[in-house]
Structure 1
Amino acid sequence: MINIIKKIASVIKVFTLKHKIISLIIILCLLGGGFWIYKSLTNNDGQTSYVLGAVAKGTIISSISGTGQVSAFDKIDVKPKVSGKIVYINIQKDNEIKAGTFLAQIDARDAQSAVQSAENDLDSARLSLTDINGEAKDALDAAYDKGLDALTTTYKDLASMKANLDSMFLESSYNGNDSDINYYLDFVRFYDEKTNDLSFWITDAKQKYSDMQKNMDTVEEIGWTISKNSQASQIENIVAETYNSVKIFLDLIRQTSNLTQRYQKISETKNLTTPIKTAATTTQITQLSAALEALIKDTATLLTAKSDITAKKVALSKANIDIKSQNLSMQKYENALLDAKENLAKYYIYSSIDGIISAVDSTIKTGDIISSGIVLGSIVTKQQVIEISLNEVDAVKVKTGQKVTIAFDALPDITATGSVVDVDIVGVVSQGVVSYGVKIALDIIDSQIKPGMSGSVNIITETKQNVLTVPNGAVKSKNEAYYVLVPGSPAPIQKTVEVGVADDTNTEIISGLAEGDQIVIRTISNSKSATPTIPSTTRQATQGLFGPGGR
């Protein structure tokens, strides 16, 4: 084939050289014919033509763009909070460190002494508080124990004398119809002219004793259920009740003892013979004296216990008041210790972040006296951010966590990803325009990306998949409504649509069209005689209206 072409070209070349005029005429004819054919094909006689396309499903990514500079995510200056002599320093440029790394120390001997002094003061306050509370409570517990001991002794004494007293008050030693004590009472009333002092015996002696014994049995029954494990109020109440009952019972025994002795004296003085044997009366007087002695002692012991409990409760109450005062003092000492420890911590300098030491004051060394606030060095994080500024329309669409793509002017081969980490709450007004700062954290750590580099970012505000889309140029607006052109006769007709989000290329169609519908995506008009179209505005994905690809 190549050889044939070469032979044809050689023949044409020979013919052209021999017949120059004829060759020129042939070339002109070919050019003229070609031009005529072109004009015939492209001449539409002033008619407008339309390029059609189909509605299709696709993905729309709405985004907002901006530009800014790269900086470290965080930067801190290493500064002491106190003045003093440096006893240790380890801050070296370009060293990578972790949060909590020990960097420097100021001479802390005075601060350590202050902490020790504060701890001693607090320990003393705690010891005093323990002594006050412990002593008062121990004393009250001892008073309750004494009350229980007094109850035990009293109940035993009552039990030991009960048989003898029952015999006197409830039985008759002479086989009579009444008890011995009632016989003594009637005898004294008959033979003794001084009966006014017998007013105690208004009621029958037997009945009086029975009533008192019944009351004592009730109190004693409760008393035997009380122990050290009982509530303090129960111990206090039973001690008081037992004391009151025994005091009344003591008066009965005292009056009975006096009555019996008067009976004995009258019978002896008047040399009277009575049905009750003298020996029996003498025995009863002895038994009454013993009971009286025991009850006097028990009553005194119960009164002491009762009074001691009351006094110790008052002492504990006062101790509690003192404890409140001591607590206030202890709180003061605790605060002083906390302040001393916080002050001591200022003498030790640690890194508060992970990062790299970016700058160091090499003139400062161990042994130097430095002032608080002087910068010993700086630390920057390895993670970087890019900060941009957006107008108020775009800023409201940006939320923390949104994904971002970043391109760098100086690094055309690197495209980084990131996410929004902060959006200013308060905007900055400049020449009547409000702007809001947005901070974007880079997902990668790349040594080629330097602080201060310029970058262009696209914040993805919304992504919609599998939605109906049409080219942006196909959507037009009129009277605040959107429409597209669909094929019609003799010319395309307008069809109203509801639009959603848009990106740089396509617009979402929410309603008005179906997948596969044909629409006009471009209009070709002859400038000489084209018929004017209805005034309209083509929908554009501009930052002011929808953001770059966003609405």
Structure 2
Amino acid sequence: QSLKPNTDYKFKALCASVGQTVSEGYPVVEYTNGKTLNAPFDLVITGTALPAKGEALTAEHAVEVSDVHNLQVQMSVFENDLASLHEDQPVSITVVALGNKAFAGKLSSINQIGKYDTSGSKFTVSADFENDGSLKLGMSASCSINVRSADNVLSVPVAAIQSGEDGKYVTVKAGDAEEQRKVETGISDGQDVEITSGLNEGDTVILPSAGEPSDAETSGGEMNMTEQEVL
């Protein structure tokens, strides 16, 4: 935001340096008549456009500031995910620099213009959240938006799902042999995928190998299925 000084006064001094935090109500700019422009909220000064001491202030002059209490984080999402997003949707914000501390936010805006790259168009979305005093402006964060959830479901790693002429299937252990089992899938978080039919709890799924196995490798790893929540 921009704080506009009173153009009826002359400039005397900037009361805080760029990058410094100023508490609500404290002076930001001092005029030659002794009056001051005070901070309307807790803020950090990010830039200035001010005249020399004793010169008149005009509409071109300003002090650029950022709110240090009400913060915003931006992230990029693929175009295929836009249909699942809406304003005021809860967003979980995690800051690694603070020991993976989590903050609760809400989706505040979705940019209507995307940027194309080789992996597809991405759109910038913004989430607002409150600072508890531990965050510094410019820190990086990771964001998670829960668009769908399922409780008490069977799931397998995404890598276990293969496709054939008859649809999706997984390879399961059947005694000393292996067999392909047709499955139907539900939601996925990118790592695990919900299985809605075709498998039972306790089935052992064979993960396909990423390449030719060496002497120390088998053709795939085994994972005993467990019942878990998929987000």
In the alignment, what sits opposite 1:170? none
In the alignment, what sits opposite 2:56? 369
Pick the aligned partner of 2:187 from 501, 507, 515: 501
CA contact under 8 A between 2:109 and 2:127: conserved in structure 1? yes
Pick the aligned partner of 1:518 from 200, 203, 222: 203
Deviations along 1:371-402, whole A, 9 cap, x unmatched? 22222x23321222221223323444333333
How far residue 78 of structure 1 moved from its aligned partner, in angstroms, is 1.8
Determine the C-alpha separation between the residues in 2 that align with 1:460 and 1:445. 23
Determine the C-alpha separation between the residues in 2 that align with 1:427 and 1:523. 36
Q: Give the RMSD, CA atoms, in angstroms.
A: 4.2
Letter in 1 for 2:24: I
How far residue 86 of structure 1 moved from its aligned partner, in angstroms, is 0.7
Pick the aligned partner of 1:468 from 123, 138, 154: 154
Deviations along 1:493-540, whole A, 9 cap, x unmatched? 2221110112354321122334x3524244799868xxx99xxxxxxx
In the alignment, what sits opposite 1:354? 41
Determine the C-alpha separation between the residues in 1 that align with 2:118 and 2:203. 48
Identical residues among aligned pairs (%): 23
1:446–1:350 CA distance, 2 compared to 1 (3 A): closer
SS at match of 1:422: strand
Residue 124 of structure 2 is aligned to residue 437 of structure 1: yes
SS at match of 1:393: helix
Structure ranking higher in helix proportion = 1
Match runs of 1:330-409 below 5 Å? 354-356=41-43, 358=45, 368-375=55-62, 377-381=63-67, 382-408=69-95
1:374–1:497 CA distance, 2 compared to 1 (3 A): same
Determine the C-alpha separation between the residues in 2 that align with 1:372 and 1:527. 73
CA contact under 8 A between 1:427 and 1:435: conserved in structure 2? yes
Deviations along 1:451-503, whole A, 9 cap, x unmatched? 22233333322222122323434432223721223444773322211101123
Match runs of 1:155-234 below 5 Å? none
1:523–1:426 CA distance, 2 compared to 1 (3 A): closer
Match runs of 1:47-196 below 5 Å? 76-79=1-4, 85-86=8-9, 92-93=15-16, 94-97=21-24
Determine the C-alpha separation between the residues in 2 that align with 1:409 and 1:354. 27
Deviations along 1:241-299, whole A, 9 cap, x unmatched? xxxxxxxxxxxxxxxxxxxxxxxxxxxxxxxxxxxxxxxxxxxxxxxxxxxxxxxxxxx
CA contact under 8 A between 1:404 and 1:417: conserved in structure 2? yes
TM-score, scaled to structure 1: 0.31
1:508–1:443 CA distance, 2 compared to 1 (3 A): farther
How far residue 407 of structure 1 moved from its aligned partner, in angstroms, is 3.9
1:386–1:480 CA distance, 2 compared to 1 (3 A): farther
How far residue 436 of structure 1 moved from its aligned partner, in angstroms, is 0.9
CA contact under 8 A between 1:498 and 1:509: conserved in structure 2? yes
Determine the C-alpha separation between the residues in 2 that align with 1:430 and 1:408. 27
CA contact under 8 A between 2:172 and 2:206: conserved in structure 1? no
SS at match of 2:60: coil
Unaligned ranges ≥5, structure 2: 32-36, 221-229
Unaligned ranges ≥5, structure 1: 1-75, 106-348, 534-548
Determine the C-alpha separation between the residues in 1 that align with 2:169 and 2:175. 18
Structure ranking higher in strand proportion = 2
CA contact under 8 A between 1:427 and 1:437: conserved in structure 2? yes
Determine the C-alpha separation between the residues in 2 that align with 1:363 and 1:508. 63
